[in-house]
Structure 1
C-alpha cells in the first residue's frame, strides 16, 4: 500500500518538475526580461487579483446567509438541493457562460467585468454554500438542545454556536474561491470583452498561441505561480484545502420551515434561470448542427474517459497514503487551485523543445485533466480507506495478509460502490474543459468545448447554445449512469 501511494506521489512530483524544466529551458529568445515589466503587465496582475478578490468576497457574502438558513433544520429533499449545488460546481464552465449570456445579455453588457463576476458567482456560490452547510451540520444536536434549554433565541444560537464554526471556515473558503477565480481561464477568455479584462491565464494563452512569445508566457506563468503558491502555503498553515462533495447521509428530516421555503424558492429560481434561458435560446431556431460535431463528441469522450481513468487511478493510489502533512495536502488539493495553465505551459514548451508537441497532444490533455480532476475524488476514497484501515489494520497484520489480499478483501468491498461515481465526476470535469485543449491543440484538433468556443467567436450564439445543450445532455447521461452503477454495486 505504501508503494502505491508513493508511486502516485512520484507521478505528481515528476509532472511538476518537468513543467519547471520546460519553463526554464523554453524555446525562443524573445526580448529582454525587463522589457516585459511595463504598465500592461501591471494591469494584468492588478485585474487578476481584483476580479478574484471581488468574486470570492461576493460569493462568501451571498453563500453564508443562504447556507445558515438552510442548515437551521434538516428538511425533506435536502439531498436534492445539495446535489444541485454540487452539480453547479462540477458543471462544464461553458454551460454557465452560455446560460449567463442567454439570461442576462438584455439586462447589461455581459462581456465585461460584471459578466465575469456573475459567471464566477454561479460556479462558486453553490460550492461555498455546501462547505458552510456541511460545517454547520457538524454541530452536535446536544449542543443545540442545550441552547434551547437555556432559552437561546435564533440570534443567540447563531452568535454562540454557529458563528464560531462559520468563522473557522471563512478563510479557507474565501482563499479557495480566490484561487479558483485567480486561475480562471474560460470565463475570462469568453466574457472578458477586450484587453482591459485580461488576466494572467489569458495572457499566457495569448503569448503562446497568437504572439508565440514563450518568454512572455514563462514570465506570466512564474508570476501567476508565485502568487498562487504563496496563498496556498498561507492557507496550508492551519487549514486543509478540502472539498466536501461526498454523498448525502440519511437522517431524520422535517418539512422545510417558512423561512427555508422562501430561501429554497429564491435559490432554485436563481440557479435554474440561466439553464432555462439557455434551453429556450437553443430551441429558438431549428437545429443547425456542425460538420465536425461527431468528430468533436468522439474526441471529447475519448479524452474524458482517459482523463477520468487516470484521475481515478491517481486518487485510488493516493488514498492509501498514511501521511497527512502539509506537503501531502498540497499534492492532494493544491492541484485543483494552482494555475493549471502554468503546468500546461511548462509541459508544452518542453514538448516543443523535443519536437513532439503535436504528436502527444491527446496524451498531454489526458495527463493534465486527470491531474486537475484527482483532488475532487480523492477525499471520499481516502475517508473510506481510513475508516476500514482503522477497523481491520491490526487483523490484517496478525494474519500476515499481503497488500493485494488487503485490497481485494478489505478495501475493494468498501470502495466499489464509490468508484463509478468518482470516475464519472472526473469524466464530467474533463469533458467540458476548454483551456488545455485550446492552448496545446492544433488547428485540426477539435473537441466539443472548442467547437462551442468557435461558434461563439463567429457570433453564432444559437449554434453555441445548441452545442452546449448537447454537452449538458452528455454530462447528465454520464451522471445518471454513474448513479445506477453505484446503486447496483451497493446492493450487490
Structure 2
C-alpha cells in the first residue's frame, strides 16, 4: 500500500506530460505551413530568450558568490532566519517584485525594457543563488578548515584550496538552473517587455493563443521551448543539490555573526527591501480605488490556492513515503521546477479545446498544474522526517506485525503533522501569485488577483496595481504566519 501511494505522484506527472504531448500533436488549429514559422520573428524571439536568460543568470551568479562567501565564513546564531528570507524571495509572488522594481527604478532607467527584465530577474534569483552557494560552501569539512589554520595558510590559500573547488563545482548547475528559470520566465517578460522586440518563447506562446488565435503557432513555439529546456536540463545534475527547505531540525548556532557578515546582511536587507518599500509607498499614495471585480478575483484566487495547496501536499506526502528515490524519479520531480510550465499548460489547453471542454476544465487544470509546480519544493522536509521516523520505528513495527495502514496513522502521520501547515501554505502562496497558468487557461470572465493586477498595469493604473499587489503580499504574509503558528502548536502539542 505504501509503495502504491509513493508511486502516485510519478503516475500523475507522467499522465500530465503524456496528455500535454497529445495536445501539442493534435492541436485544433490549421495555421500556415510549418516552414513558415521558421522566420525572422522566430529567430528574434529565440535570440532574446537566450540573451535575457544569459544576462540574468550571469548577473545572479556573480552577485551571489561574494555574499555567499561572506555568509559561509562561519555559522552564526541568526543564519536560519537569513536563509529563510532568501527562500521567501524565491516563493514571493512575481508581480510583487515587478511592481516594486517599477516603483523604485522607473525614474532611474527605462524599466519596461531588457534592463528592467534583467533587474527583476536579479531580485528574484540572487537570493536563491546566495542560498544555494551558501549551502554548498557550508558543507566543506571543518576538519580541513582546522588543518588549514594549523598550517598557517593565508586567507587566499584557504580560499583557493578549500572553497574555490566547491564554487567551481557548484557554478555550472546553479548557473544552468537560473538560466532555465529565466529562459522560461513569463510574468516578468510579459509585464516589463515594453514592446514586441522583447518577447521570449513563453510570451510568444501566450500571444499565439490569446491574441492571434493560432494554436498551431502556439504548439510550434511550445515544442521548441520544451525541447531546448529539456536538452539543457541534462546539464543540471542531481535534483537534491537545489532543495529549498526551512529546516527546523538543524541545531541553532551559538556564535554571533562577524562584523563583515553583519555588513553583508545589512546590504542584502537594504537592497532586497527597496522594491517592497517602493511598492508600499506607491500603494499608500492614494485612497484605494478598488475594482468591481475585486471580490470575484479574491475569491477565485483563494479557492484555487486552497485546491492547489491540498493537492500539492497530498502528492508530496505520497512521494515522501518512497524508501528510495531513483534517478528517474528525481528527474521527474526536479524537472517540474525548470521545464517551462507554459509548454505543459499549452498542451493541456489545446487538448481540452480539441475535446470542446476547455471552459469546463479551467479551475481543475489551474489547480492541477500549480500543485505540480509546488510539489517539488515541499518534498524534501517531509521526506526527511518520514525517513527519520522510518529508521527509528520500523524494526518495532515489523516485530509487532503492524500493517501498512496502521504505520501510516501511528508513525508517519505524526512525523509530518507539524510540517503539513507549512507545506500546504507554501503551495498556496505559490499558487495565489501565479499569473501565467491562469492567464493562459482563463477566459474573459475568469479573473484572479494576478490577472486583475496585470489588467490594471495594462491600463496604466499603476497605483491601483500597486494597491492590489500589496493586498496580495499581505495575504501571503498572513498565510505564512498562520502556518508557522499552527505548526508550532502541533509541534509542541
Smaller-chain TM-score bracket: over 0.9
Alignment deviations for residues 74-100 of structure 1 (CA, whole Å, 9 cap, x no partner): 234222221211111100000000000
Contact between 2:57 and 2:179, CA under 8 Å: does it hold in 1?
yes
Using the size of structure 1 for normalisation, the TM-score is 0.97
Aligned to 1:11: 12
Give the stretch that moved more between structures: 225-234 or 449-458.
225-234
Aligned to 1:226: 227
Aligned to 1:272: 273
- Structure 2 SS opposite 1:111: coil
Contact between 2:77 and 2:252, CA under 8 Å: does it hold in 1?
no
Alignment deviations for residues 440-463 of structure 1 (CA, whole Å, 9 cap, x no partner): 101111100000000000000000
Give the stretch that moved more between structures: 362-371 or 226-235.
226-235
CA distance in 1, matches of 2:98, 2:274: 13
Aligned to 1:108: 109
1:247 is aligned to 2:273: no
Aligned to 1:360: 361
Unaligned 5+ runs, structure 2: none
Contact between 1:332 and 1:378, CA under 8 Å: does it hold in 2?
no
Contact between 2:92 and 2:429, CA under 8 Å: does it hold in 1?
yes
- Listed as ranges, the matches of 1:77-156 within 5 Å are 77-156=78-157
CA distance in 2, matches of 1:88, 1:52: 19
Deviation at 1:241, TM superposition (A): 5.9
- Listed as ranges, the matches of 1:59-458 within 5 Å are 59-236=60-237, 240=240, 242-247=242-247, 249-458=250-459
CA RMSD of aligned residues (A): 1.4
1:26 is aligned to 2:24: no
- Structure 1 SS opposite 2:397: helix
- How many residues are aligned here? 491
Alignment deviations for residues 220-259 of structure 1 (CA, whole Å, 9 cap, x no partner): 01101111111112323x6656323232523333332221
Alignment deviations for residues 36-61 of structure 1 (CA, whole Å, 9 cap, x no partner): 00111011111111111111111011
Give the stretch that moved more between structures: 129-138 or 269-278.
129-138
Deviation at 1:141, TM superposition (A): 2.6
CA distance in 2, matches of 1:461, 1:279: 12
Aligned to 2:37: 36
Deviation at 1:392, TM superposition (A): 3.0
CA distance in 2, matches of 1:234, 1:459: 41
- Structure 1 SS opposite 2:149: helix
CA distance in 2, matches of 1:107, 1:61: 22
Give the stretch that moved more between structures: 279-288 or 242-251.
242-251
CA distance in 2, matches of 1:140, 1:254: 18
Give the stretch that moved more between structures: 195-204 or 134-143.
134-143
- Structure 1 SS opposite 2:234: helix
Deviation at 1:195, TM superposition (A): 0.9
Deviation at 1:372, TM superposition (A): 0.7
CA distance in 1, matches of 2:203, 2:82: 34
CA distance in 2, matches of 1:345, 1:408: 39
Deviation at 1:70, TM superposition (A): 1.0
Give the stretch that moved more between structures: 147-156 or 333-342.
147-156
Contact between 1:134 and 1:244, CA under 8 Å: does it hold in 2?
no
- Structure 2 SS opposite 1:235: coil
Alignment deviations for residues 169-197 of structure 1 (CA, whole Å, 9 cap, x no partner): 21221111111111100000000111111
Q: 1:239 to 1:364 in 2, by over 3 A?
A: closer
Deviation at 1:412, TM superposition (A): 1.5
CA distance in 1, matches of 2:386, 2:242: 17
Using the size of structure 2 for normalisation, the TM-score is 0.97
Deviation at 1:386, TM superposition (A): 2.3
